[in-house]
Structure 1
Amino acid sequence: MTSAGFNVTSSLTLLGFSWLSGHSSLLFFVFLLLYLFVLFSDSLVIYIICSQRALHRPMFAFVASLLLNSLTASTLIYPKILSDLLLSGAGLVQVSRTLCLCQGFFLSSLGGASFMLLSAMAFDRYLSICHPMHYAVLVTPAKVVLMLLFCWMLPAILVAVYTLQASRLPLCRAQLNRVYCDFYSIVSLSCSGAEAQLSGLYILLIAAVILFLPATFLLFSYARILFICLRRSRSFSSKALHTCLPHLLVFFNYSISIFLDLMLRRLQSNRESDSTLITSFLILVPTVLNPVVYGLKLKEVFTHVKRLLSCRRDS
């Protein structure tokens, strides 16, 4: 079917697996182990936070929500990649345009939600450290729920509007040099100059709202915390910075992955196999590091993790 001379394709081909076909068995087991680790570790930390009354505090509610967000994204990515590695005998994977757009929607909305949740954590830490006398009044359970809903709903609504817009773009090509679908790659296949440019501007708007603004707010909040800590006692500063460190590590983990992914797109490396493998790990590694950071760096969580695992080993 054509529209105004353009091909309106109903399926897309993921070429990324053609560069990985020689290592599909090895990569299958690597990604399977990573996925099982993410499932176990994320679920373990979430279970501990939900089951321990001492951890029923706003900060840990945000941590559990971020890990749940990461677990959801992993479940949308890992099984699809694992099945494609098994089925891509020729190295080419066919995927319907609708499924590709759905994967792009969930990746973008959940990725934006991660930054929104991290900015909410920064705001929570700012109020806790800089305004401790008013913290209980300012951060109530009802307000925490509203903040969590806002962090998930705003990216979902913005990305849903863009998904509808992208679904109407006519495509002149149907091949993506990726192992997963993302909007940037899908829109790059479009032949419709004016509509594609408009979509590109909307992508920048979405990125500004759900990525750059939360990141700026997060950095401003932690800068204020650092400024306060420099004026307080050493013990107070050490405790405050220790609680902020895991959130900053996760933030830089996400930010560096996104930055490197964008750089690889711009460079358009001639060694497509290396580029495909690197970009695949860039989207997967953050999901692996999140539970490690929160399980080891948050003392309250690590204590319960160690106690739970020792009890299971003794039994």
Structure 2
Amino acid sequence: MDNQTQVSEFILLGLSGQPLQRQVLFSLSFSLYLIGCLGNLLTILAIISDPHLHSPMYFFLSNLSLLDICFTSTTIPRMLVNHLCGLTTISFAACLAQMYFSITFGAADSILLSAMAYDRYLAICCPLHYTTIMSILRCVLLVGIPWISANLLSMIHTILMSRLSFCTNRIPHFFCELNILIKLSCSDTQVNEMLVLVLGGPVVLISLGCIMASYTPIAVAVWKVPSARGKWKAFSTCGSHLCVVCLFYGTIIGVYINPSSTHTPQKDMVATVMYTMVTPMLNPFIYSLRNRDLKGALRKLLLSRYHCSQPL
């Protein structure tokens, strides 16, 4: 207890300590971040610019793209700047802020995916009442709940983290991740560790339960469709969402829900890279490649920008 101190700054050790590996990982991280932000931004612009896409499904998709941009922008730019400038330090306040926003956007992403599954359930199983049920007010509510609940969850973790003392300020990661900071503390972290499961577990498990509850009747309804073409059309509206769900929840469960005894720094790092870089980058491509309307809107958006840039 005598060795506990309240550190004023942390040192982020990054993805690797080898210079050559750091250069390769920097190039890869920059490429993933640039592609992900560009893809998600184009998705948002395409949905806004095309009146045919002003429907609940695309409203949720545009919010998911916004969350992905915010989520990656919380961690990746700081890592890239630190690498370029040779500075690996981050102040205690900035570290807590980074942790706060990463939890907020990650948790909101998780809850929003369950809202999107509910939207697909109504569209396929209750098509006659879909427009009535999915009113503007309900859509705003289904988007607002993830933001509000995620901020409350993140606030609790951040307040508890600010009360801890740390024996070391060296973080073996590329950003201030909740579990890593808990492991670095010399204080009693039983409450923090318990709340990771008590608060984080329901966010993931309830969201997954809602998704399964939504897709079970969807699978039954699709199975009853007589024609193979009809089945494929119904499945194609949900296949993209299912791919995103598997990518996102698979990595989140691997990092936060598994027992701490099964964790290793290498596994945690790979899983974190997956849900902070790879999944947000893949989301717009998964949705656009499997959605004819969105591909058409993206094509029109890019062509209009191209014609506007041509000299008269």
TM-score (norm. length: structure 2): 0.89
- Matching residue within 242, 252, 259 for 2:246: 252
Structure 2 residue aligned with 1:139: 134
- Matching residue within 140, 158, 163 for 1:163: 158
- Deviation, structure 1 residue 173: 2.6
- Deviation, structure 1 residue 17: 4.9
Distance 1:290 1:160 in 2: 27
Distance 2:77 2:259 in 1: 25
Q: 1:19–1:276: 8 Å Cα contact kept in structure 2?
A: no
Distance 1:179 1:188 in 2: 15
**CA deviation map 1:213-238 (0-9, x unaligned):** 10121122112210122123334432
1:209-248 correspondence runs (5 A): 209-234=202-227, 235-248=229-242
Q: Does 1:289 align with 2:282?
A: yes
More displaced stretch, 280-289 vs 248-257: 280-289
CA RMSD of aligned residues (A): 2.4
Q: 2:5–2:167: 8 Å Cα contact kept in structure 1?
A: yes
Note closer, same or farther for the CA distance 1:221–1:124 as it changes in structure 2 (3 Å cut).
Answer: same
Distance 1:223 1:105 in 2: 34
Distance 2:61 2:70 in 1: 14
- Deviation, structure 1 residue 312: 5.0
Q: Unaligned stretches of 5+ in structure 1? A: none
Q: Does 1:268 align with 2:229?
A: no
Structure 2 residue aligned with 1:299: 292
Secondary structure of 1:12's counterpart equals strand
Secondary structure of 2:10's counterpart equals strand
Q: Unaligned stretches of 5+ in structure 2? A: none
**CA deviation map 1:28-52 (0-9, x unaligned):** 3322222221222111110010111
Q: 1:12–1:95: 8 Å Cα contact kept in structure 2?
A: yes
Note closer, same or farther for the CA distance 1:279–1:136 as it changes in structure 2 (3 Å cut).
Answer: closer
1:65-76 correspondence runs (5 A): 65-76=63-74
Q: 2:49–2:301: 8 Å Cα contact kept in structure 1?
A: no
- Deviation, structure 1 residue 109: 1.2
Distance 1:4 1:55 in 2: 61
Structure 2 residue aligned with 1:208: 201
1:1-315 correspondence runs (5 A): 6-17=4-15, 19-88=17-86, 93-193=88-188, 196-234=189-227, 235-261=229-255, 266-268=262-264, 276=269, 279-310=272-303, 315=310
Q: 2:9–2:89: 8 Å Cα contact kept in structure 1?
A: yes
Distance 2:242 2:223 in 1: 18
Secondary structure of 2:166's counterpart equals coil
Distance 1:33 1:216 in 2: 34
Note closer, same or farther for the CA distance 1:277–1:219 as it changes in structure 2 (3 Å cut).
Answer: closer
Distance 1:35 1:208 in 2: 28
Q: 2:5–2:166: 8 Å Cα contact kept in structure 1?
A: yes
Distance 1:151 1:210 in 2: 10
Aligned residues: 305
Amino acid paired to 1:268? T
Note closer, same or farther for the CA distance 1:29–1:73 as it changes in structure 2 (3 Å cut).
Answer: same
**CA deviation map 1:249-279 (0-9, x unaligned):** 111111222245467973426xx6x975674
Amino acid paired to 2:53? L
Note closer, same or farther for the CA distance 1:31–1:232 as it changes in structure 2 (3 Å cut).
Answer: same
Q: 1:109–1:156: 8 Å Cα contact kept in structure 2?
A: yes
Amino acid paired to 1:168? R
- Deviation, structure 1 residue 124: 0.7
Secondary structure of 2:129's counterpart equals helix
Distance 1:280 1:21 in 2: 19
